[in-house]
Chain A
Amino acid sequence: MTALLEVEGLRVRLPTPTGFATVVDGVDYHVEQAQVFGVAGESGSGKTMSMLALLGLLPPGSVVEGRAAFGGKDLLRLRGRDLRAVSGRDIGMVFQDPMTSLHPMLSVGRQLTEHVRRHLGLGRRAAVERAEELLVQVRIPDPTSALHAYPHQFSGGMRQRIAIAIALACGPRLLIADEPTTALDVTVQAGILRLLDGLRREHDLSVILITHDLAVMSSIADRVSIFYAGRVVESGSRASVLPHPRHPYTRALLDALPHPEAARDTPLVAIKGTPPSPQQIPVGCPYHPRCPYAIEVCTTDDPPLAPVNGRRLACHVDPFDE
């Protein structure tokens, strides 16, 4: 089976006052049909930039290298109208804060119909019907009156559902969700995760879920990639990586999380230090200054992402090998 999206050697450099900063440094991944692909890492690890690059949404002056095969086209080579035709129609995107991604002055109906009229060429009446259908799909109660309401009249969870409805408007094959539940209460988060899971099961939608929260990823992702300093340090199936992390960074991210089934007095273990800034990526393994297992070679050589029993790992030490 060929993947829906196949990214190879993605490298993103952003212009800064002091020269270019490499924020994504040679990333490979693929997303299968009807799968949820989870991308995790701390803020600044390059997760969001690697997705914005696919949609041509990087700041002007950015330099992108690599290949992103999607439906027989290379997204990184498309420009202007051609890119919009693909990214507007076949790829939907949902952001962290629905209050900033929704237009506050336009009714929900207007924002939902605009898309389908533009990309699918539907008439006004058909577009309204489609809009209602979408609101039903994301489980907004009373969709007819919701169409005439404005974003501020909804709660945070409902707003995020509306943002998802807009992203789904043209029937995309891929949905990129960037921290879609981070701004929400846990109860509401659970509802959004169930919604995304249902969309994948019932509508064959593929989802890229970007999150800093491995617990969120653990609930719906099929495969995961852990990002650090613009590269992937570990990737594999959810069921293999999360219960048995092999990279010290993946392990550290998990140890920092409160675990619902842990004994009460298990302390949360914070990762020492902070992620490096893209201008000052350490030589060798970028994680070595924070890594308790680092040895000599980690300070000089950057470990390649290499296959080890069914997953890929970038670590010289591999301290959790079983």
Chain B
Amino acid sequence: MSKPALDLRDVEVVYERRGRERVRAVAGASLAVERGQIVGLVGESGCGKSSLARAAVGLVRPTAGTVVFEGREVTPLTRRARARELARLQMVFQNPYSSLNPRRKIGSQLADALDALDLAPRRGRRARVAELLELVGLLPSAAARYPHQFSGGQRQRIAVARALAADPSVLVLDEPLASLDASAQAQVANLLVDLSRRLSLSLLLISHDLAIVRHVADVVSVMYLGVMVETGPTQPLWSLPLHPYTEALIGAVPHPDGRGFLPEALPGEVPDPARPPAACRFHPRCPYAFDRCKQEDPLLRRVAPGRTAACWLQTGSGPPARPAEQAQRLPLLHTEE
């Protein structure tokens, strides 16, 4: 297999806090985005997914591990211009209300992005701006308007257009759908899939909503309290979650079918990342936790083709099965050791 477009290995992000203990927001997480692939990264707020995204584009310096983009190490942003090649790694933020300048016209903001990288000669700029707007499904006339004249979904598309101005090969998107209405969410989600296929663009899509990620991503990584707990191709992961946390995320999704299904609430809260539980970080909230989970930290390992999970229930010896089924076989697992 060719090298991934974006490769994060054992990344650790630590925030120092004056007078308080340090927070290990990302505690050694790995993730690879292949060329043209859409990778979903899901988890609750506080799980470190945004910190990992920021490390991926060089907005925070990882305290350990490496981030490699197209064969070149991503260095944190400084006041100096970064290497031109790294500009092909772009980021889109959650809130287009704050990521766009309210006082400048859309056309100027897109032209700025082109100018910063000398990507379009003065003459070709207007045409390129129109092209970028069309790519995200807006009319060229949008260039003459201001951000407040657009709806939330349109604004998010403008933010995507600005990222596309740099002619990127990888886009990292931090909760790009979270602040949108259902309909706008569908529009932007479809646009992202379409762009990825048309421009062979790799996407790292960060979201807390596994239901929407399922419709967009080719593969999914699930993160909990700074570590990856499960990865796999989207469909198998959705129909057969191997980690209890993934199962809980799927169970919490409400169903719009009118049958009155009450989503399952995962007990407890995401613990303070400054003081993560010992051994398996998920054990205090896990309905299947047993002795070993409180004593040893399970490592992320391959349990089926293309699938990894960090759970003592998944031994990898038999075929993969739901956590509940594995838990029933627990006495068996014990005798095996």
Contacts and interface: CB of A to CB of B under 8 A. Distances in A.
Interface of A: 42-43, 155-158, 185-191, 193-194, 197, 212-220, 238-243, 252-261, 264, 266-271, 274
A258 B211 contact: yes
B44 interface: yes
B53 to A, nearest CB: 16
A56 B185 CA distance: 32
A259 B253 CA distance: 9
B71 interface: no
Contacts of A219: 254-255, 260-263
Nearest to A267: B190
B81 interface: no
B259 A270 contact: no
Given A42-B181, A187-B252, A239-B260, 4 more contacts: A190-B265, A218-B257, A238-B260, A256-B186
A314 B215 CA distance: 32
B263 A186 contact: yes
B183 A253 contact: yes
B302 interface: no
Contact of B256 (A189, A190, A214, A268): A214
Contacts, number: 143
Contact of B262 (A193, A254, A268): A193
B187 A270 contact: yes
B239 to A, nearest CB: 9
B286 interface: no
A157 B269 contact: yes
A315 B251 CA distance: 36
A43 B182 contact: no
A186 B262 contact: no
B235 interface: yes
B135 interface: no
Contacts of B266: 187, 190-191
Contact of B182 (A187, A190, A238, A257): A257
A156 B44 CA distance: 11
Contact of A268 (B45, B190, B255, B263): B190
Contacts of A191: 265-266
A258 B261 contact: no
Nearest to A188: B44
Interface string B2-23: 0000000000000000000000
A15 B223 CA distance: 48
A287 B45 CA distance: 37
A186 B260 contact: no
B212 interface: yes
Contacts of A158: 269
A189 B262 CA distance: 11
Q: Which of A189, A255, A268 has the most CB of B within 10 A?
A: A268
B169 interface: no
A258 B183 contact: no
A221 to B, nearest CB: 8
B183 A190 contact: no
Given A187-B44, A189-B263, A218 B258 contact: yes
Given A187-B44, A219-B261, A260-B211, A42 B254 contact: no
A190 B190 contact: no
A185 B45 contact: yes
B130 to A, nearest CB: 21
Contacts of A197: 262
A217 B254 CA distance: 9
A258 B254 contact: no
Given A42-B183, A218-B258, A186 B212 contact: no
